[in-house]
């Protein structure tokens, strides 16, 4: 329950800040263009707090913290006295109205830059993208990936850390090949490698993009030495203790955690003979993994142990930190990368390269907010920057119910010299609302299926 409340609180804070930024963009540019803003609301429903400023705008914090809006004076909605028509949104020029509409997404892009700027001022822990090898018979194995090589570039785009490598690889979905620029860490010799991705299958709910390609990254690994034993578990009943090292199961030597994990999963309610090392002494214990149901609905065995993690390989970790001005440039570059990736993913959804079953909704966002907030400030700022960019990109889609749809109508008006008819706009809004509701429904169902 505490995790649920933490996720919910983190989600409300993140959404509240991002919506406030978005709506402030509309509000600020509207005022600069002489539009009377009647209400600036964070949330929907009953007002919990409200106040007015000298220009007559009512600021509201409402009961349902799932969005917000800016209500401007508009003759299409409100009766407007002749002396106040110059303050109405619909009496402004097309370019002024376009600026007001575009200011919401624009504010989210700027906010992402500010968040990333702050991150790089503080210092961002990074991991060099060094390969530990390739999984047998994988795309990377067939291409000839070798251990101890660092990825320098992906399809010509420079790579500095694992995070940027991850984003760039995801961006390549649907392409027939991926070019990797690699450097051997000992000799510094460089070479180019081509991954044949015509039959590439990637399921982000079950694996990382690196795993889907068979790229093994040089990272700390789970060992066969146990760090924790779950209370009242099959492991505790068998007599296992923290610090034990599992050497063999049923006489089969175990050298990797993945081997141990696989044997346990496939041995639900079946006795296993464990050969272990405890403080230099060899022991033999018997354990019966209990039957559990995994998230995918399949039954599997559970022993109730947590492995020790090996130390970080030397030279892999570093902190990326910039000065005040350089951090701005890095914030802009990272925001552009996230924006490019967001638009690319939308395009891949339309072409079928990415399935709609991978869409995420509010539950996944809440979980992400809670997880990153628990990790620390840098992780939460990074998450906020990503969601801010996504919010901006989604709002720029040419669906009439979104800012992008309004901009589309205004572009047509600018070209034709007269506005789109109210009937056409109404049909467009209904269509946009239907599409948006369908996508939200799919995303919510996906969230529920992942619980």
Residues 375-382: contacts with CB within 8 Å, 24+ apart? 377/122, 378/119, 378/122, 378/123, 378/124, 378/125, 380/10, 380/14, 381/115, 381/116, 381/118, 381/119, 382/115, 382/116, 382/119, 382/124
Tokens of 448: 């529920």
CB 188 within 8 A of CB 209: no
Q: What is the Cα–Cα distance from 189 to 185, expressed in whole angstroms?
A: 8
Residue positions annotated with a catalytic role: 23
Three-class SS state of 43 = strand
Q: What is the Cα–Cα distance from 382 to 14, expressed in whole angstroms?
A: 12
Pairing of strands 215-217, 157-158: unpaired
Tokens of 74: 């508009």
Q: What is the Cα–Cα distance from 256 to 246, expressed in whole angstroms?
A: 10
Q: What is the Cα–Cα distance from 128 to 130, expressed in whole angstroms?
A: 6
Q: Which residues contact 26 (CB under 8 A, 6 or more apart)?
A: 70, 100, 101, 103, 104, 107
Three-class SS state of 142 = helix
**How many angstroms separate the first and last alpha carbons of the chain?**
14
Q: Which residues contact 191 (CB under 8 A, 6 or more apart)?
A: 181, 182, 184
CB 308 within 8 A of CB 227: yes
Q: From 133, 178, 120, select the one nearest 328 (Cα to Cα).
A: 120
Q: What Cα–Cα distance (Å) separates residue 184 from each residue in 131, 140, 251, 424? A: 10, 16, 39, 60
């Amino acid at each position: 329950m505490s995790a649920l409340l933490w996720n919910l609180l983190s989600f409300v804070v993140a959404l509240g800040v991002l919506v406030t930024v978005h709506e402030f963009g509309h509000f600020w540019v509207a005022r600069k263009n002489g539009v009377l803003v009647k209400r600036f609301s964070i949330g929907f429903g009953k007002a919990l707090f409200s106040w007015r400023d000298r220009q007559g705008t009512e600021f509201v914090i409402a009961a349902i913290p799932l969005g917000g809006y800016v209500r401007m004076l508009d003759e299409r909605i409100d009766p407007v006295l002749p002396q106040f028509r110059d303050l109405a949104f619909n009496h402004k020029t097309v370019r002024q109205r376009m600026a007001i509409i575009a200011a919401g997404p624009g504010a989210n892009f700027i906010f992402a830059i500010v968040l990333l700027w702050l991150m790089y001022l503080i210092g961002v822990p990074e991991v060099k993208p060094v390969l530990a090898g390739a999984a047998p018979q994988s795309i990377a194995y067939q291409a000839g990936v070798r251990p101890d090589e660092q990825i320098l570039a992906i399809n010509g785009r420079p790579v500095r850390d694992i995070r940027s490598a991850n984003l760039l690889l995801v961006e390549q979905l649907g392409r027939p090949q991926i070019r990797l620029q690699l450097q051997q860490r000992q000799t510094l010799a460089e070479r180019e490698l081509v991954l044949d991705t015509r039959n590439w299958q990637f399921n982000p709910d079950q694996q990382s993009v690196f795993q889907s390609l068979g790229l093994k990254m040089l990272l700390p690994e789970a060992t066969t030495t146990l760090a924790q034993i779950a209370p009242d578990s099959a492991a505790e009943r068998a007599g296992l203790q923290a610090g034990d090292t599992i050497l063999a199961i049923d006489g089969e030597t175990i050298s990797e955690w993945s081997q141990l994990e696989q044997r346990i999963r496939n041995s639900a309610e079946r006795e296993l003979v464990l050969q272990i090392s405890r403080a230099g002494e060899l022991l033999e214990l018997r354990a019966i993994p209990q039957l559990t149901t995994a998230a995918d609905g399949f039954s599997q065995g559970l022993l109730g142990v947590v492995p020790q993690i090996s130390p970080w390989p030397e030279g892999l970790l570093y902190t990326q930190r910039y000065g005040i001005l350089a951090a701005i440039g890095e914030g802009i570059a990272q925001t552009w990368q996230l924006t490019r990736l967001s638009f690319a993913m939308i395009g891949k959804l339309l072409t079928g390269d990415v399935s709609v079953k991978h869409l995420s909704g509010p539950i996944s966002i809440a979980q992400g907010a809670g997880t990153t907030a628990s990790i620390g400030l840098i992780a939460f700022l990074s998450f906020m920057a990503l969601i801010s960019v996504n919010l901006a990109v989604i709002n720029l889609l040419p669906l009439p119910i979104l800012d992008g749809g309004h901009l589309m109508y205004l572009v047509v008006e600018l070209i034709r010299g007269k506005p789109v008819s109210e009937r056409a706009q109404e049909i467009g809004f209904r269509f946009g609302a239907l599409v948006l509701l369908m996508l939200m429904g799919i995303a919510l169902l996906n969230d529920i299926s992942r619980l």
